[in-house]
Structure 1
Amino acid sequence: MTSTATAPVLRPAPGRPADVDPSPARGRPNGVRLDAIARSFETPQGRHEVLRDLDIELGSGEIVAVVGPSGCGKSTLLRLIAGLDRPSAGVIRLGGTALRGTDPRTAVAFQEPRLLPWRTLAQNVAFGLPRGLGRREGRQRVQELLALVGLEHAAALRPREVSGGMAQRASLARALARGPEVLLLDEPFGALDALTRLRMQDLLLEVHAAEPTTVLVVTHDVEEALYLADRVLLLRSLRQHPHSGSLARTVEVPGARPRDRADHALAALRVELLQGLGVHAHQTAPSASRIADLTSENLS
C-alpha cells in the first residue's frame, strides 16, 4: 500500500463552512463536552460500573487519543459519543446541545472496515453521503475522498479484491463522506500489519489536515496515541480502583504534527503512560517504528 505524499485540496465538505480553522481550540461551540458521565450495566452478579465521573472536552479540530487497560470503558465512551448508547448519568453535548441518540454530525470507523462486499469501493464511500445530496455533487465528493485516501485507481474494485489497508482507507473515506464535525475511531488500525499501520497513521494526519474535524481515537498502542494526538487520556479500570473516577491522567503532547517518531520527549511520555498502565519500562515490547525498521532490514 502506498499512502499519498500530500493531501489534495478539497472543496468544503457538505454542510461544512469554507472558513474552517484547522487549529485545535477547546471550548469552541462545535466541540464535544462530557459532564460527569457515568455508565453502568446490570448483570446477574449485580451492577457493573464501567465509567464514572468523566469530564472531558474535545475542541474543534483537535485529535484526542484514549488509552487504558482492557475493561476500562474506552469503547463504551466512544459508543456514548456516537449516540449508540446512553450514559447512566451526566450529559454529553455536541455543538453546545445535549446529545440524544445518534447525530449526523458524528461518524464512526471501526477496527474492521465493515464494507459491503457486493459494492465497489466507490459505492461503499457513497453509502456515507448525507441524504438529499445531488447525484452530481455526490459523485464529485466520492471522487475527492477516494483521491484523498489514495484510492482513485481502485474505485471500481470490490472489498475482496483489495488489501486490508486499502479496505481501511475506504472505510475512513466513507466515514468522512458527510463531512462530520466529530470522527470517532475505534482501534482503526489494530488489524493491520506494522508497516501498513504506520502508513495509515500518516494518512490519517494528511486527511485531518485537509478536513480538520474533531477526532477521538481509541487505541491500545501508546506510541500511536502520542504520534497522532494533541492530548492523550488515560482511563483506569474501576474494578481495580473502585473509589476513583475513570480519568486517571491527561497528557498534553508537545510539538506540531506530524511529529518525529524518534523524539526523546515522546519517548519519555511513552514511559510515563506505560507506567500508568502498569507496565515497567524494562518490560516494554519493541515500538511499532522499531518493528517497522527491523522488518525493512530483513526485507532488504
Structure 2
Amino acid sequence: MPLSSIDRYLHQPPPANLQGWAHGCLEFLYFGIKEARACLFAGLFFASVLLVPKSGWLGIARYDLLFLIAIAIQLGMLWSKLETLDELKAVALFHVAGFALEVFKVSGSIQSWAYPDAAYTKFWGVPLFSGFMYASVGSYIIQAWRLFDLRIRHHPSYWMATLIAILIYVNFFSHHYIGDYRWYLAACALGLYARATVQFRTWHTTRSMPLFLAFILIGFFIWLAENLGTFFGIWRYPNQIGAWSAVHVSKWSSWSLLVIMSFTIIANLKHIKQDIHIPD
C-alpha cells in the first residue's frame, strides 16, 4: 500500500463505536502512528546517522553517504506525493538557513562545535548533510499539519510573528558579539503566543493545547536527537572531544526557539494560512 493511501486513511479513519478506555486507547494509538508518520523524514535520516559506519561504506565517506541518503529520502517523498513542490521550497529554505548557521558556528573564530570527519561534500568545515537536520524539523511540522488537520487559533499578526522569528535567527549569530538575548526573545514569544492554541485531530476527536507548549515539547525531542548525534560522533562540542557527555540542557531552549522560527516559515505558506485564525 503506498504511503499516500495510508495518509488518506489516517486523515479520514473509519468510525468505530467505542467508549471509555477503549476509545482512549485507540485515540492514543492513532496519535502515536500519526506522530511516527510525521517524523518519516527525520526518522529515516537519523536512522541513517546511527547505521552508517564511521568509516563509510563502499569507499564513500560517512558524511558524503549521509548527504546522498538525505537527497534520496527527499526525492522519494516528493515522488510519492508526500510533499508538494511548495512544501519542498520551505524545506529547502530550512536547509539553506541551517547550513549558513552551521558555517558560522564552526568557523575558526567561533568553534561552537566541529565535524571531525573528512568528506567531498564538506565546505567551510560543514558537511552538506547538516542542513537536512534543520530541514527535518520543517518536514515534521509540514507532515504533522496535514495528518493532524491542525488549526491555529488566536495566532499573532504575521508581521509580529515574522519579526520575532528573524530576531531569533539573528541572535544565534549576534550573541557571540553583543550578548545572548534568547531569554528576552523567549519572553517576547511567550507574550506573543500566549493566547494561541493548536487544535489537532488524532482520531475523530478534536483536541487542543497551547501552541507555545508545542514549541517546547518539539524542542525537547530535537535536543534528545542532538544527544544521539553527538554520541555517535557525527559532530562534537568542545567538551565532548575527550569523552562524550550529554548536550547541555540549555540547548533545549535554543531548539525550542528554532522551532518557533520554523513554524513561522510554515505558517506563511499560502495553503496553510487558511487554517490559521488571526483575531481582529
Does TM-score exceed 0.5, indicating one fold? no
Which structure: greater strand fraction? 1
Which structure: greater helix fraction? 2
Q: Scaled by the length of structure 2, what TM-score is found?
A: 0.30
